[in-house]
Structure 1
Amino acid sequence: MQSGAPAALAAEAAARRSYGKLVAFLSARTRDVAGAEDALSEAFMAALVDWPVHGIPSTPEAWLLTVARRRQVDRVRASVRGEAAAEHLLLLEELADPPDDSGIPDERLRLMFACAHTAIDAAVRAPLMLQTVLGFDAATIASAFLVAPAAMGQRLVRAKAKIREAGIPFEVPPRSAWAERVDAVLAAIYAVYAEGWSDAGADPARRNLAEEAIWLGRLLVQLLPQEPEALGLLALMLYAQARLPARRSASGDYVPLAEQEVALWDAALLDEAEALLLQANALGRRGRYQLEAALQSAHAERRHGVRPDPQAILLLYAALEELTASPVAALNRAVALADVRGPAAALEALDQVAASAPFAQYQPYWAARAHLLARCQRRDEAAEAYRRAIGLERDPAVRSFLQARAAQL
């Protein structure tokens, strides 16, 4: 008998690698996302009991899939009755034919487009993808979208019920229907990347979230080579990923963008990002991700020995705010104002944004406010803002960085 620790670690690793892949495959035929999640959850629980006794299987995902499908079969059998019996029996036959161990078909992109179906409320499409494709919990998703966790949980439950009740197909739709769904798919991929990026220092094991998002972004570009926002999103993620090696010092300390050693940036990724952005711009349809990628490109000029142009950065943030009406874009535009008109003007703009935005639990707002207050010599207020930012930050390295800045007051 093995210790339970290796089995738990193997189950956790399988969940990180393949949660969305397994949910997508399990729900592709039943169209019951919640049921697929329940079956997979039971399979993971079974693994924690079985693997310490019989050993970790050579293909954990295939083992989990087999057990989860058995759970699905049991539920279908229990529901076989009356006029629906023929349909249930047909589904039983399909579920009883698992794939071989050589590979589980990757249905994630099809599931993402199903979650982006126009029958599902637009506000919950991207959050639904985060939960079903990556396994994020409602609280994490709520934080990313600035929504109360209870409200987000209710929306996700309703959306899954809608997929089952409306019989929404799990398929990449015909090209004529891509335009009305692609925005939600892009938003979900970007949210996945942002979650992986923000956790890269606090939890290195979660860096695979960023890599998963880039993989999905590349797949989407292959599907939609003439979609400028797909190109822009991939460029945006690659710009950020290129800077990952410089984001921590040799001792693990957080290094802000303006202080990073450009020699540590991944030149190949930056070159690829630049090419993608140029390709997107040539298509002549401006969008959010292209603007955000352009902002990253402006900062990347440092690798050529050129100081980023603060006026250009301010204009790009203003265009992004106008295009998206996003409070986060408004926050960044206000902060960028400091390098053009000074910290007092930036702080005034930030206060105007905060008056109508839900920033009470948003760490970047408090960190930005603290920095601007410190530059304005308003030390007591800056100390309080730093205290709020430190309390909301989950990355120990970033917390230490903020504590050091607060101590300098």
Structure 2
Amino acid sequence: MTDSGVQEARAAAEKAARQSYGRLVAILSARTRDIAASEDALADAFARALERWPADGVPDRPEAWLLSVARNRTLDAWRHSRVQDDAAQTLLLLLADEVGADATGGDAVPDERLRLLFVCAHPAIDAAARAPLMLQTVLGLDATRMAGAFLIAPATLGQRLVRAKARIRAAGIPFEFPRAGDLPQRLQDVLDGIYAAYGTGWDEVDGADATQRGLTAEAIDLCRILCGLMPGEPEPLGLLALMLFCESRAAARRSDTGAYVPLDEQEILHWNAHMREEAEHALQHAADMNAVGAYQLEAAIQSAHCARRLGAQVPPQAVVALYDGLIALRPSIGARVGRACALATAHGPAEGLSALDTFAPDEIANYQPYWAARAHLLARTGDPVAARQAYARAAGLSTSPAVRAHLAFASSRL
């Protein structure tokens, strides 16, 4: 066993986890209906891969190898359990038959990931656990990494996830796409899960980590598939447009030295024009269906920001109106902060600050975008002392070194 062999094995395992974790969990869970057990089996398979691949070499199809090992572990667990009813015996036969039947793993239909997303959106599962459960089961994210995105303590989120998986197993929730009549009830949760996946990848990578950028690409991929499966639904198109608008600017978010670059200062030549055009097309397609949704409005806001930077005359009040519509449909602290910033653009910083003053203290105590916006508006109103305090608060709440440096620089210029 050589150091290069160990490094090659680790790199192959990391790539498989990044690209195929959710698909493998979905395949395993589709038969057992036990997400926790499937995750345990897959974790064991990855551990065995790190033990054996350095000596044996990385297999031609790593995902197939992992799937086979995980399924064998699942079979062993069933054989050694005391459960010997007819259903268990049937499961053993089905699993045994399929270990060879679709062991290609990487060739599995990508819709398996969506199937698992819809399972996690089942109404029997606590609503607060659905999106985090999707991120953990489909993307393999742990509670610590997800907690910040859902503004909740990791321990509390972990407990919710454990209860949700137990609920799936105990209730025998079927691993299948819902009936047409159930789609509206589950679709919103699936869209929220996909967007949370995109946001997690966007925030974690800090504009540079190609490994974690895979999360944003997978979220966009899943949304494209969902749009194809539900061509009559406008909100998947709205979400796709929203993510594409954001992703089109990814290369411009950092300077050559890695410094954070806000939207108003980005080099538009670094924007991906093809991706932005695709976003506009998706948004228009959604609008043609005449059923406005929150994701369509968020995408329209992003479209307005991009258009303004490209030189179009976008009335500031129009952006405020878009935020008003968004808040009416799905009120959130993020939308309200965005509206305050839009008000500042339309009517001056004092108006924006007045809107920010309406937030309850417990709402914004740990919400970084609020303090960044407040600092910026205080600086514009000529209150450097209060602005520096807000900048310091925003920097302290940021997990990005580049953003912290940007905020510190802005504060130093006051």
Q: Do both share a fold (TM > 0.5)?
A: yes
- Check if 1:225 corresponds to 2:215: no
Corresponding residue of 1:87:
87
Structure 2 residue matching 1:199: 3-state secondary structure: helix
- Check if 1:104 corresponds to 2:108: yes
Corresponding residue of 1:68:
70
**Match for residue 234 of structure 1 among 231, 236, 240:** 240
Letter in 2 for 1:41: A
**Match for residue 77 of structure 1 among 60, 76, 79:** 79
Give me the identity figure in percent. Answer: 54
How far the C-alpha of 1:148 sits from its partner, in A, is 2.2
Moved more, 163-172 or 398-407: 398-407
Preserved contact between residue 320 and residue 329 of structure 1 (Cα < 8 Å): yes
Deviations 1:243-281 (A, max 9, x none): 122222233222111111222222222222112111111
**Match for residue 382 of structure 2 among 369, 377, 380:** 377
* Matches for 1:271-290 after TM superposition, within 5 Å: 271-290=277-296
Corresponding residue of 2:29:
27
Corresponding residue of 2:141:
136
CA distance in 2 between counterparts of 1:127 and 1:23 reads: 15
Q: Which runs of 5+ in 2 are unaligned?
A: none
Moved more, 128-137 or 265-274: 265-274
Preserved contact between residue 32 and residue 164 of structure 1 (Cα < 8 Å): yes
- Check if 1:337 corresponds to 2:339: no
Letter in 1 for 2:103: D
Corresponding residue of 1:322:
328
Instruction: Call closer, same or farther: CA 1:135–1:254 in 2, change over 3 Å.
Output: same
Letter in 1 for 2:75: V
- Check if 1:173 corresponds to 2:175: no
CA distance in 2 between counterparts of 1:213 and 1:9 reads: 22
CA distance in 1 between counterparts of 2:360 and 2:8 reads: 47
Letter in 2 for 1:27: S
Letter in 2 for 1:37: E
Letter in 2 for 1:245: A
Instruction: Call closer, same or farther: CA 1:65–1:157 in 2, change over 3 Å.
Output: same
How far the C-alpha of 1:381 sits from its partner, in A, is 2.4
Instruction: Call closer, same or farther: CA 1:211–1:124 in 2, change over 3 Å.
Output: same
Letter in 1 for 2:28: L
**Match for residue 251 of structure 2 among 229, 240, 245:** 245
CA distance in 2 between counterparts of 1:105 and 1:280 reads: 26
Letter in 2 for 1:86: D
How far the C-alpha of 1:92 sits from its partner, in A, is 1.4
Letter in 1 for 2:233: E
CA distance in 2 between counterparts of 1:397 and 1:202 reads: 11
Corresponding residue of 1:309:
315
- Check if 1:213 corresponds to 2:219: yes
Task: Using structure 1 for the length normalisation, give the TM-score.
Answer: 0.94
Corresponding residue of 1:118:
123
Runs of 4+ aligned residues of structure 1 deviating over 6 Å after TM superposition are none
CA distance in 2 between counterparts of 1:53 and 1:213 reads: 35
Preserved contact between residue 2 and residue 55 of structure 1 (Cα < 8 Å): no
CA distance in 2 between counterparts of 1:64 and 1:366 reads: 45
Preserved contact between residue 331 and residue 353 of structure 1 (Cα < 8 Å): no
Deviations 1:73-98 (A, max 9, x none): 111011144xx433222211222231
**Match for residue 355 of structure 1 among 355, 358, 361:** 361
Preserved contact between residue 117 and residue 134 of structure 2 (Cα < 8 Å): yes
Corresponding residue of 1:185:
190
Structure 2 residue matching 1:47: 3-state secondary structure: helix
Task: Using structure 2 for the length normalisation, give the TM-score.
Answer: 0.93
Structure 1 residue matching 2:303: 3-state secondary structure: helix
Letter in 1 for 2:72: R
Corresponding residue of 2:7:
5
CA-atom RMSD in angstroms: 1.7
How far the C-alpha of 1:205 sits from its partner, in A, is 1.7
How far the C-alpha of 1:379 sits from its partner, in A, is 2.0
- Check if 1:404 corresponds to 2:409: yes
